[in-house]
Amino acid sequence: MTLKFFTETLEQLQQQGQFRQIPHLQHQGKWIVRDGRKMLNMSSNDYLGLASNDLLQQQFLQKFAENLPHFTSSSSRLLTGSFEIYSQFEQLLAQRFQRQAALLFNSGYHANIGILPAVANKKTLIVADKLVHASLIDGIRLSEAEFVRYRHNDMQHLADILAKKHRTFERIIIVTESVFSMDGDCADLSALIAFKCQFDNVMLYVDEAHAIGVLGETGLGLAEQLGCIADIDFLVGTFGKALASMGAYLVCEQVIRDYLVNKMRPLIFSTALPPFNVAWSYFLFDQLHALTQPRQHLAQLSQHLRQALVDMQCEMPSSTHIVPYILGDNHLTVKTAQHLQQQGYYCLPIRPPTVPKGTSRIRLSLTADMTAEELEQFIDCLRREIK
C-alpha cells in the first residue's frame, strides 16, 4: 500500500530513538506546563526574558491606544504589502549597526533560504562551517553554487580550501553562524575577515540568530563585541529568539539590498509580516541598547553553569548562554532528559540529524529571568544525575 513507506520510516525512527512529536504545552513566564507538570524552561530561546515581560506588552499597546497597527499586510511588500513601519525599522537597524542599509524578512529561515540562492550563481563557491544551521544548508542547496564544508571552526582547513579554489570561482561566500546553536561556541570572525583581505573575491555571511540581543555592548551581537560589523557583507539575525518577536533582518551595503529586492524569491513571493508584528519588533529593538543588566546577569549565569559542568568532567565547547550537556547515546540522552523533567526542569534531548551522530545531548539554554538560586538548584539536580 502507498502508506507503507511512511509507517515503516516512522517505525525506524522510533527504533533509533529519533522519533519526533509536537508537544502540548502551556506557558507561564519562565515555566512550562506539560502533562500537568510545571517545569523551569531550560530550553528557551527567550534569552533576555522579554517574551514574558507583561510590562513591555502593556507599554507597547498603550503607545498605540486605539490606533493599533494592521494585523496583516495582505500582500508581498513589492505589491501592496509595504507599510511605513517597515522602512522606519530598516532605517533604525541601519543606523544602529552603522551600515548603509537593512532589509527585513518574515523569519530567519526565510532569510537564509532566500539570500544565498539570490546572491550565488554557478560561478560562486559557498564554503560553510560543518555545523551551520539547517536553514543555511537549505539555502545553499537551493542555490546554483558549488558547495564545500570546512571542519567546524577549523581555519586551517578553510585556508586550504580557499587557496586551492579561489582562482576557479568569480565569487566565494564564507558562511557561518556567530554563536553556534547546538555547541554554544563562537566563530573566529577576525580570522574569517582576514581571508577577505587575503583573497579579493571572498565575501562573508554571518548568522547572528543566537547572539543578537545577548552579545555586544549594545546587544548587536558577536560582530559588535569584536568590533567588526563593518567587515561583514551579509550580517543576518532573527527577531524570534532574544528579541521576543518574529522576523529577521539583514544589514548590508545599499547595492546588496537593492539587488535582493529584485532577486530574492521569499521576499518577493511571500506576504510580508503583519505591521503589528513589525511594530513590536521595532519597539523591542529600539530598547535593546539599554538592556545591559539582563545581558550581564545572563553572562554570569552562563559562566557559572559552564564551570559546573566542567567540574563534573563534561566536555564543554561552549563559551556562551547555550550550554550543551553531551551524553552521546540517543536513548541515554532521552532518558536523562525525562528524568530532569520529572524533577521540574524542562530539558530536551537533541539527537541526530540535528547534531552529528554520537553527540546526542541536552541543550541547556539560559535566560536572563532565571535567578542564581534557581540555577544553583538545577546544578544540584544535575550533579545527582551524573553521579
Catalytically active residues, by annotation:
45, 133, 177, 181, 207, 210, 241
Stretch binding ligand PLP (CB under 6 A), from 50-58, 104-112, 188-196, 378-386: 104-112
Could you say which residues in the range 188-227 bind ligand PLP, by CB under 6 A? Answer: 207, 209-210
Q: CB of 40: closest distance to ligand PLP in angstroms?
A: 22
330-342 and 372-386 helices, crossing angle to 10°: 130
Per-residue burial over 16-28, b if 16 or more Cβ lie within 10 Å, else e, is ebbeeeeeeeeee
Q: Say if CB 220 and CB 243 are below 8 A apart.
A: no
Residue 133 interacts with ligand PLP (CB under 6 A): yes or no: yes
Whole-angstrom Cα distance, residue 205 to residue 117?
A: 13
Could you say which residues in the range 50-69 bind ligand PLP, by CB under 6 A? Answer: none
How many residues belong to the site for ligand PLP (CB under 6 A)?
14
Whole-angstrom Cα distance, residue 136 to residue 126?
A: 11
Stretch binding ligand PLP (CB under 6 A), from 63-71, 102-110, 153-161, 323-331: 102-110
Closer of 94 and 104 to ligand PLP (Cβ): 104
Q: CB of 324: closest distance to ligand PLP in angstroms?
A: 14
| Sign of the four-CA dihedral 304, 307, 312, 314 | positive
Q: CB of 117: closest distance to ligand PLP in angstroms?
A: 15
Stretch binding ligand PLP (CB under 6 A), from 53-61, 105-113, 118-126, 281-289: 105-113
Residue 109 interacts with ligand PLP (CB under 6 A): yes or no: yes
| Minimal CB distance residue for ligand PLP | 108
Residue choice 41, 43, 73, 112 for contact with ligand PLP (CB under 6 A)? 112
Q: CB of 133: closest distance to ligand PLP in angstroms?
A: 4
Q: CB of 132: closest distance to ligand PLP in angstroms?
A: 7
Q: Which three cell numbers stand for residue 355?
A: 547534531
Residue 177 interacts with ligand PLP (CB under 6 A): yes or no: yes
Q: CB of 246: closest distance to ligand PLP in angstroms?
A: 7
CA-wise closest residue to 322 among 57, 129, 191, 131 = 131
Closer of 134 and 255 to ligand PLP (Cβ): 134
40: amino acid identity, one letter: L
Residue 181 interacts with ligand PLP (CB under 6 A): yes or no: yes
Whole-angstrom Cα distance, residue 170 to residue 122?
A: 9
Q: Which positions ≥6 away from 326 have C-beta within 8 Å?
A: 314, 315, 359, 360, 361
Q: CB of 209: closest distance to ligand PLP in angstroms?
A: 3
Closer of 216 and 308 to ligand PLP (Cβ): 216
From residue 232 to residue 271, the character string flagging contacts with ligand PLP as x (rule: CB under 6 A) and all else as - is: ------x-x-------x-----------------------
Query: For binding to ligand PLP (CB under 6 A), which residues are involved?
Result: 107-109, 112, 133, 135, 177, 181, 207, 209-210, 238, 240, 248
